[in-house]
Amino acid sequence: MILFTNQELRLHLPSNAVDEVANLQGMLDNSEKDFLKPRLGESLYNRLCEYYRGIEPSDFCDTVINGDYDKNPWNEVLLYAQRMIVNDAMAKNIEKQLLSMNGTGINVASSNDYSVATDKQIAQGKESYRETAMISLNNLLSLLEGWAKKINTPMEIDALSGDNTSLSDSASGDTETSDSAGSSDNAGSSDNTGSSDDTGSSDNTGSSDETEADKLQAIGEIVLLWEESKYYYYHSDLLFPTCESLQPYLDIYDNRDKFVRLIPDMRFIQSEYLEEAFGEDFIPRLLQASEDDKLLKKARQLIAAYLKERTSVINFDKLARSTAHNDAITVRESIHRLLKKEEVEKQAALDAANGGSDGTNTGNNSGASGSSASTSNSSCSSSSASSPGSSSGDNGNEGYQNNQAGSRIFVTPILC
């Protein structure tokens, strides 16, 4: 659990009049397990619970009230996580809170101090809680995505190992380098000026660097644990690897949760539509292409059109889906033309290369053929002259001569 006190509850639900948070722990725990844990991943969720057990809730509330919570990355994650589960729990259980079960059956609780909420007010409250929970979720995922881009972590890890130690060591190494550089610079400055003010400035700089190093180490640990979640921001096997890359082609309101829910549709489109239409090598080729690649842009346009045509994650009217269907046909034909043009250009380049080599080979073969032909003619002449059955006339012609009187030709029946 990551919320135990009324003071924390009022940070996210100021209008609550609950005497004990323990009365809501069942609802809060369900929201933690069903709503928060899948987004963070089991490892990061367990580590966040461990962090919460090691702090004082009152101290955490003070940092939120004072606006200093962003100095500690774990406090930032905890704040968004608490806001998510409180609003999600209220959205899921607001109707049940109206009912009271006792010995006489199920009744509606009432009080002289409060007026009964109307059905419309209840529906509006439920929608408001749900909307706040989703906004908090998107803010949390955006925060984690920004940190992941900052430290440039890899896409996937098979299991959590000592990688976070090496990452922390590298961060510490960078910090030590900057500390040593700052110390040497300040030392030089103090040698030149001989004042004690520079020494004090050096101490402050060192303290600031240590704080930044601790913050970077905490961010590295958080992101490394988050990589195990299916909600990690980067998916290297998709042509839309991030929510940010999909947004220019399909307006999902920069919603990270919707992007993750669209992933099964995108995988199906890539494997069943694109690979079937353009070949198995099409997707692997585009995964290695640059962002400016023309073919990659058209493939993304095609995926976006297919998404708009078939997905149920986002609601589109009939006209929008029909337009997307026509767009998909147009873009698909355009990709076929591009691929055909590339094939023609490659074949032309190959023919040109083979033509040059063929010319060289032809010249060599002609010389060889000429010498072999002369050798053959001379050997034939020698054979004809030395042959006892060879005929020779007085005019010096040797061997058989075509189109001479008395010549005969044998024709097979098929030629008649």
pLDDT by 10-residue block (mean), the chain, 416 residues: 93 88 92 96 97 96 94 97 97 86 77 79 94 96 95 50 43 44 44 50 66 93 95 95 95 94 97 95 95 96 97 95 97 97 92 73 54 47 44 51 64 54
Instruction: Report residue 102: phi and psi, to 5°.
Output: -145, -165
- Taking the C-alpha atoms of residue 137 and residue 143, their distance in angstroms, rounded to an integer, is 10
The Cα-based distances of 63 to 73, 107, 368, 376, 410 in angstroms read: 12, 42, 92, 103, 112
- Taking the C-alpha atoms of residue 237 and residue 260, their distance in angstroms, rounded to an integer, is 13
226 occurs within a structural domain: no
Our CA dihedral for 346, 352, 354, 356, rounded to 10 degrees, sits at -160
Residue 78's closest CA among 61, 66, 91?
61
User: 147 and 46 in one domain?
Assistant: yes
User: 259 and 121 in one domain?
Assistant: no
- Collapsed DSSP state (helix, strand, coil) of residue 106: strand
Q: Tell me what pLDDT residue 188 has.
A: 45
356 occurs within a structural domain: no
378 occurs within a structural domain: no
- Taking each helix axis as running N to C, give the angle between helix 73-93 and helix 57-66, from 0 to 180 degrees, rounded to the nearest 10: 100
Q: Tell me what pLDDT residue 111 has.
A: 66
**Residue that is last in its domain, among 346, 370, 399:** 346
User: 150 and 277 in one domain?
Assistant: no
**Residue that is last in its domain, among 346, 379, 396:** 346
76 occurs within a structural domain: yes
382 occurs within a structural domain: no
Q: Tell me what pLDDT residue 102 has.
A: 78
186 occurs within a structural domain: no
179 occurs within a structural domain: no
User: 146 and 37 in one domain?
Assistant: yes
User: 128 and 263 in one domain?
Assistant: no
User: 135 and 28 in one domain?
Assistant: yes
CB burial of residue 126 (10 Å; 0-12, 13-18, 19+) = middle
Q: Tell me what pLDDT residue 402 has.
A: 64
Number of domains, the chain? 2
**Residue that is last in its domain, among 330, 346, 362:** 346
Residue 206's closest CA among 170, 167, 177?
177
User: 143 and 10 in one domain?
Assistant: yes
User: 268 and 137 in one domain?
Assistant: no
Residue 320's domain comprises 243-346
280 occurs within a structural domain: yes
Q: Tell me the HSE value of 40 on the side-chain side, using a 13 A CA sphere.
A: 26
Rg (alpha carbons) of the chain, rounded to whole number: 40
In eight-state DSSP terms, residue 35 is I
Q: Tell me what pLDDT residue 414 has.
A: 56
pTM: 0.71
User: 260 and 143 in one domain?
Assistant: no
CB 229 within 8 A of CB 44: yes
CB 144 within 8 A of CB 222: yes
